[in-house]
Amino acid sequence: MTERRTLYPPIEPYRSGMLEVGDGHSLYWELCGNPQGKPVVFLHGGPGGGASPAHRQQFDPARYHILVFDQRGCGRSTPFASLEANTTWHLVEDIERLRTQVMDCERWQVFGGSWGSTLSLAYAQTYPERVTELILRGIFLFDQHEVDWLYEEGGASQVYPDGWDEFVAPIPEEERGDMMAAYHRRLTSDDEAVQLEAAKAWSKWEGVTVTLLPDPAVIEEFTEPAKAIAVARIENHYMRAGGWLEEGQLLRGVEKIRHIPGVIVQGRHDMCTPPKAAWELHKAWPEATLHIVPDGGHLYSEPGVLDQLVRATDRFADD
């Protein structure tokens, strides 16, 4: 067995800033790596998760010109945790603005995991002529059964019944028939204590499901108040709206992108975004390479998942 690939060494941005994208939103962005290298945009998960320094390290800094940014309402973008003018299609247009106004390139690689895979597909199907390759991890197509798997009883709750009990604890019994609506009421409450309690419970549930083995550090990160508020408010906002996507839309749209080289990386034991979506995407897009990692969960940092992601970025670095 060959040695698994890991992150490239830490790097710092050589330039960063804020881009006004309208509707009162400003996005934090940063450029790293080689300005003459292959352009790539990294799309983080959540929605609402924000970017981290380690995200830059999935690319060879000598060969890639890397754009990382925080999507609307999260990370260092402003206004914080805002739900106004915050939809999938706003974000697709934000990516295109970043391409023309910050990266200033004709075409670029698009790399996204989890919700970032959803957004990558939505962007690529809107602007296929701008995408050189797609690298996708932890596929989420935003079909209703995927939302129900994580947020209604009968899916991940069967695997993590203890975590599920903590997730439903802030919601009275009589409101549990519609968890999205019940959480929305609390996450948009004027009472900050109510909002934070709900946000921590929502975000902790996600933290429980994203790793193959329990990881207290991940739980601590996900329940940090600012991260929990952004993740919970924005995720709930998107989940209630079905991502502003029609059922099956991203699978039907694959015909627009089948000519684009692609790699799909999926953990076999991903309890957050189960492998069915990755398999369905691969069947619709057989030209893409699919890696189902036998000992992988959901996060990019799972050793087998990260190995395949770094191999994928290396594969396309000189194309």
pLDDT digits (tens, 9 = 90+) for 137-184: 999 999 999 999 999 999 999 999 999 999 999 999 999 999 999 999
Q: Is 298 a catalytic residue?
A: yes
Q: What are phi and psi of 299, to 5 degrees?
A: -65, 150
**What is the 3-class SS of the chain, one letter each residue?**
CCCCCCCCCCCCCCEEEEEEEECCEEEEEEEEECCCCEEEEEECCCCCCCCCHHHHHHCCCCCEEEEEECCCCCCCCECCCCCCCCCHHHHHHHHHHHHHHHHCCCCEEEEEECHHHHHHHHHHHHCHHHEEEEEEECCCCCCHHHHHHHHCCCCHHHCCHHHHHHHHCCCCHHHCCCHHHHHHHHHCCCCHHHHHHHHHHHHHHHHHHCCCCCCHHHHHHHCCHHHHHHHHHHHHHHHHCHHHCCCCHHHHHHHHCCCCCEEEEEECCCCCCCCHHHHHHHHHCCCCEEEEECCCCCCCCCHHHHHHHHHHHHHHCCC
pLDDT tier at 319 (50, 70, 90 boundaries)?
confident
Question: Is the domain of 172 the same as that of 25?
Answer: no
Summarize the confidence of residues 246-258 as an average pLDDT: 98
* Tally of structural domains, the chain: 2
The verdict on pTM exceeding 0.85 is yes
Of 192, 222, 243, which one is at a domain's C-terminal end?
243
Q: How do residues 201-232 score in pLDDT, each as one tens digit?
A: 999 999 999 999 999 999 999 999 999 999 99
Q: Are residues 252 and 230 in the same domain?
A: no
**Residue 25 annotated to the active site:** no
Q: Decide if 5 is inside a domain.
A: no
Q: Is residue 40 part of a domain?
A: yes
Same domain, 105 and 250: yes
Q: What does the buried/exposed string (b/e) look like for 250-281 if buried means 16 or more CB atoms within 10 Å of the residue's CB?
A: bbebbeebeebbbbbbbbebbbbbbbbbbebb
pLDDT of res. 47:
97
Domain match, 139 and 263 both: yes
What's the pLDDT score for residue 1? 54
Do 118 and 214 fall within a single domain? no
The mean pLDDT value of the chain amounts to: 97
Active-site annotation holder among 55, 203, 298, 307 = 298
**Section 43-63 average pLDDT:** 97
Residue type, position 116, single letter: G
Boundary-marking domain end, from 243, 268, 288: 243
Query: Has 82 been annotated as catalytic?
Result: no
User: pLDDT tens digit string along 97-142?
Assistant: 999 999 999 999 999 999 999 999 999 999 999 999 999 999 999 9
Evaluate whether residue 31 is within a structural domain.
Answer: yes
Do residues 92 and 123 lie in contact, with contact meaning Cβ atoms separated by under 8 Å?
A: yes
Is the domain of 234 the same as that of 265?
A: no
Angle between helices 192-209 and 144-151 (to 10 degrees): 100
Q: Which domain holds residue 118?
A: 15-143+245-316
Final residue belonging to a domain, choices 225, 243, 261: 243
- Give the pLDDT band (50/70/90) at residue 2: confident
**Residues 75 and 91 placed together within one structural domain of the fold:** yes
- What does the alpha-carbon distance between residue 240 and residue 205 come to, in Å, rounded to a whole number? 17
Determine which one of 114, 120, 157, 203 is catalytic. 114
Residues contacting 250, CB < 8 A, separation 6+:
118, 121, 122, 125, 141, 142, 281
Per annotation, catalytic residue among 82, 270, 282, 307: 270
Residues 169 and 283 in one domain: no
In this prediction, residue 192 carries a pLDDT of 95
Confidence label for 73 from pLDDT (cuts 50, 70 and 90): very high
Separation between Cα atoms, residue 71 and residue 231, nearest integer Å = 11
Mean pLDDT confidence for 279-297: 98
Q: Kindly state whether residue 128 falls inside one of the protein's structural domains.
A: yes
